[in-house]
């Protein structure tokens, strides 16, 4: 029950629903055990003794009991469902909230489909046990306890003969639980992988179709689906193996009861009605114990689900506000790196090695280098997506770890290489980081990003609804909206991570012209592969293998005959040669 103890904070506040459900379950169970007693009275006192005038009263009494049981059953099931549904509502909110605050490094290894599976199928599996599992367990205990009491009242010796095989049945149920729980955990993992496959295929459908890899994706899905099927079959084998054994042991109780009970009736030590009632009561013992397999099945699934949910809830957030975090509404934008080294994991080689530089407020810093040289890593340390392994990153003379995350990040405008847009209006996407932005500010940001004209050409202008991930817009259009979104927040620090890579040269020129005005008074970091995007930078840092190998202005670096000049030659001299030969 350790898993349920850890998740107690989500369901125990609603214990009133649970207690109410259990109280009415007690009524339902008590009434259920009355049925065999009515049957015993009908046979022994009415039929055998000829008291037929009792029949109308017994019938009316039975109808009254059924009505009471019906009402009690309704309240029991309704409050039980209310308990489960209300509990997982808060649990699902807590999981989603946790995912918002988990660090970037968590998502480096997490699979989208698996996370979706946890927030849907696993949460639902846990809810099902809260709604029905606890109730079934208590019903099991109550039914067995009350049935035993009545059975001992009828015949102590017959009760003892009947329960001889029950310990073996209990042991079988225990072994079943030990075998079935790991199997259900494997099923949950397989389902998460299956979801991941589906999600990746749908997200990358353009790539799949453009490379004619439909058959490969079908085969990949078949493999995941086959693994999921095999896990379920393996679990079914466990169920098929143990359930007949449990049924056999249960029926062995019935055989013993009928044999010895018949002997007692023949010798006048037990009334026929009492034997019939006894037979019904034995059913109330055996079937709950056999049904315990179903409850254990449900418990194992919910426990496996709960463990997967706890993996999210107990994940270390790592990057959080310190107790005395500094909050500043507006930053000046001075950025300093002091001998900074970054390793994403202990096993990885350093992504950055001894990086030191200073960017004064309003300066434009260009970052250039081959893929994997550390350009993006530098900007991710400024926003505190990761913590440096060594050294210190400061903004306005204060270490970024000493700022509140909201205070730091609301002053930084970030445009990623791959622009993500939400399934909402263009207006909502641009004002996402500043929901209270006036329409004039939204339009101004769009104009600065050279997006206003194409937005106005759309059917509903700024109220145009975008499809998933900005479907319906070109790559360049999406990137310009992302730039407008960053501008709209009026940041002190602006980070452009290859932000014009998806636009043509003419559009890039327009955006850069507009951005020159936007950059005034802001510290700007431009990551680019095109030297044309960096010519105007106040300082360019050339990176190789996580180290700064050159720094300076465009003209200085061209005269330095170093890595920057080699990049320039590749981009310009080779192009001129091609144009001349063409």
Q: Is residue 143 part of a domain?
A: yes
Give the pLDDT of residue 580.
46
Residues 272 and 299 in one domain: yes
Burial of 544 (C-beta count, 10 Å sphere; 0-12/13-18/19+)? middle
What is the per-residue DSSP string for 111-177?
-HHHHHHIIIIIHHHHHHIIIIIHHHHHHHHHHHHHHHHHHHHH-HHHHHHHGGGHHHHHHHHHHHH
Length of the chain as a residue count: 582
- Per residue in 471-492, pLDDT (tens digit) is 678 777 888 888 888 888 889 9
Which strands, in side-by-side order, build the sheet including 335-342? 352-359, 335-342, 390-395, 398-399
- The pLDDT of residue 486 is 87
Could you tell me which residues come within 8 angstroms of residue 581 by beta carbon, excluding any fewer than 6 positions away? none
* Overall domain count for the chain: 2
Q: Do 379 and 247 share a structural domain? A: no
Residues 153 and 89 in one domain: yes
Report yes or no on 466 lying in a domain: no
Q: Token digits for 316? A: 């270390």
Considering the domain architecture, whether residues 66 and 210 belong to the same structural domain is answered as: yes
SS (H, E, C) 318-357: CCCCCCCCECCCCCCCCEEEEEEEECCCCCCCCCEEEEEE
Determine the Cα–Cα distance for residues 352 and 546; give it in Å rounded to an integer: 4
Residue that finishes a domain, picked among 281, 313, 345:
313
Kindly state whether residue 472 falls inside one of the protein's structural domains: no
Residue 548 falls within a domain, yes or no?
yes
Min mean pLDDT across 92-96, 283-287, 320-324, 420-424 is at: 283-287
The CATH number that applies at residue 337 is 3.40.50.300
The secondary structure of residue 466, as a DSSP letter, is P
- Please, which residues bridge with residue 366 across strands? 526, 540
| Residue 398: CB atoms within 10 Å | 15
Q: 259-290, pLDDT tens digit by residue?
A: 888 888 888 888 888 888 888 888 777 777 76
* 19 occurs within a structural domain: yes
Of 206, 293, 210, 214, nearest in space to 249 by CA: 293
Lowest mean pLDDT among 8-12, 56-60, 359-363: 56-60
342 plus 237 within the same structural domain: no
SS3 202: helix
Specify whether 58 is located in the same domain as 203. Answer: yes
pLDDT (0 to 100) of residue 470 = 59
305 and 340 co-located in one domain: no
Asked whether residue 26 falls in the same domain as residue 93, the answer is yes
Residue 351 lies in a domain: yes
Identify the CA nearest to 189 among candidates 227, 223, 238: 227
Residues 89, 119 within the same domain = yes
The model's pLDDT over 419-436, given as tens digits with 9 standing for 90+, comes to: 778 888 899 989 988 888
Q: How far apart are CA 501 and CA 507, in angstroms?
A: 11
Query: 360 and 281, same structural domain?
Result: no
Of residues 106 and 297, the one with the higher pLDDT is 106
Greater confidence, 206 or 557? 557
Write the CB contacts of 27 (distance below 8 Å, at least 6 apart in sequence): 68, 69, 72, 76
List, in sequence order, every beta strand (DSSP E) within 402-537.
412-415, 493-497, 523-527
CA distance 305 to 302: 5
When the pLDDT of each residue in the chain is averaged and rounded to a whole number, the result is 83
Q: Are residues 31 and 168 in the same domain?
A: yes
Q: Is residue 579 a part of any domain in this protein?
A: yes
User: What Cα–Cα distance (Å) separates residue 226 from each residue in 5, 233, 483?
Assistant: 35, 10, 44
Domain range enclosing 582: 331-411+523-582
Residue in this structure with the two tokens 């001075």, named with its chain if needed = 334
284 & 379 share domain: no
Q: What is the sign of the dihedral through the CA atoms of 221, 224, 230 and 235?
A: negative
Backbone φ, ψ for residue 512 (5° rounding): -65, -35
Q: Give me the CATH number covering residue 229.
A: 1.20.1560.10
Query: Predicted confidence band at 500 (pLDDT cuts at 50, 70, 90)?
Result: low
- Pairwise CA distance, residues 46 & 50, whole Å: 5
What pLDDT score was predicted for residue 115? 83
Highest mean pLDDT of the ranges 321-335, 469-483, 561-575 = 321-335
Report pLDDT for 575: 52
The answer, yes or no, to whether residue 219 has pLDDT greater than 80, is: yes
Q: In this structure, is residue 554 part of a structural domain? A: yes
Rounded CA separation 426/481 (Å): 8
Residue 180: count other Cβ atoms within 10 Å of its Cβ.
Answer: 21
């Amino acid at each position: 029950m350790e898993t349920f103890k850890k998740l107690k904070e989500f369901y125990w506040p609603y214990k009133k629903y649970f207690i109410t459900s259990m109280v009415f379950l007690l009524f339902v169970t008590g009434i259920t055990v009355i049925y065999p007693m009515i049957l015993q009275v009908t046979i022994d006192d009415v039929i055998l003794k000829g008291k037929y005038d009792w029949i109308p009263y017994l019938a009316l009494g039975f109808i009254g009991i059924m009505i009471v049981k019906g009402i009690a059953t309704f309240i029991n099931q309704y409050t039980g469902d209310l308990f489960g549904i209300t509990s997982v509502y808060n649990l699902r909110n807590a999981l989603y909230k946790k995912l918002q605050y988990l660090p970037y490094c968590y998502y480096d290894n997490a699979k989208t489909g698996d996370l979706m599976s946890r927030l849907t199928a696993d949460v639902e599996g846990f809810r099902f046990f809260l709604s029905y599992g606890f109730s079934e367990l208590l019903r099991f205990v109550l039914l067995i306890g009350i049935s035993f009491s009545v059975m001992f009242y009828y015949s102590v010796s017959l009760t003892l003969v009947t329960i001889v095989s029950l310990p073996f049945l209990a042991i079988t149920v225990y072994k079943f639980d030990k075998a079935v729980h790991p199997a259900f955990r494997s099923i949950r993992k397989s389902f998460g992988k299956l979801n991941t496959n589906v999600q990746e295929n749908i997200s990358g459908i353009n790539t799949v179709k453009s490379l004619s890899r439909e058959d490969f994706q079908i085969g990949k899905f078949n493999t995941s689906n086959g693994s999921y099927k095999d896990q379920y079959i393996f679990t079914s084998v466990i169920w098929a193996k143990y359930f007949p054994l449990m049924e056999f042991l249960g029926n062995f109780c019935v055989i013993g009861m009928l044999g010895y009970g018949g002997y007692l009736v023949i010798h006048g030590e037990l009334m026929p009605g009492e034997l019939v009632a006894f037979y019904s009561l034995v059913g109330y013992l055996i079937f709950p114990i056999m049904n315990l397999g179903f409850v254990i099945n449900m418990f194992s699934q919910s426990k496996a689900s709960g463990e997967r949910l706890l993996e999210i809830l107990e994940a270390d957030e790592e990057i959080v506000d310190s107790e005395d975090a500094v909050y500043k509404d507006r930053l000046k934008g001075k950025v300093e790196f002091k001998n900074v080294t970054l390793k994403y994991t202990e096993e990885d080689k350093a992504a950055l090695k001894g990086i030191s530089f200073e960017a004064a407020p309003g300066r434009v810093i260009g970052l250039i280098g081959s893929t994997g040289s550390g350009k993006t890593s530098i900007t991710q340390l400024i926003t505190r997506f990761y913590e440096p392994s060594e050294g210190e990153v400061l903004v306005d003379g204060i270490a970024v770890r000493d700022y509140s995350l909201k205070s730091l990040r609301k002053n930084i405008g970030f445009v990623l290489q791959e622009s993500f847009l939400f399934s909402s209006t263009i207006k909502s996407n641009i004002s996402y980081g500043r929901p209270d932005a006036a329409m004039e500010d939204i339009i101004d940001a769009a104009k600065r990003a050279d997006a206003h004209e194409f937005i106005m050409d759309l059917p509903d202008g700024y109220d145009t609804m975008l499809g998933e991930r900005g479907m319906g817009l070109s790559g360049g259009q999406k990137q310009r909206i992302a730039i407008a979104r960053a501008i709209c927040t009026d940041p002190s620090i602006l980070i452009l991570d290859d932000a014009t890579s998806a636009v043509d040269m003419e559009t890039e020129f327009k955006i850069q012209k507009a951005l020159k005005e936007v950059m005034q008074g802001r510290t700007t970091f431009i990551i680019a592969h095109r030297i044309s995007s960096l010519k105007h930078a106040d300082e360019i840092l050339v990176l190789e293998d996580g180290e700064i190998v050159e720094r300076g202005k465009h003209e200085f670096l061209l005269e330095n005959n170093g890595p920057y000049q080699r990049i320039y030659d590749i981009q310009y001299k080779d192009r001129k040669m091609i144009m001349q030969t063409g």
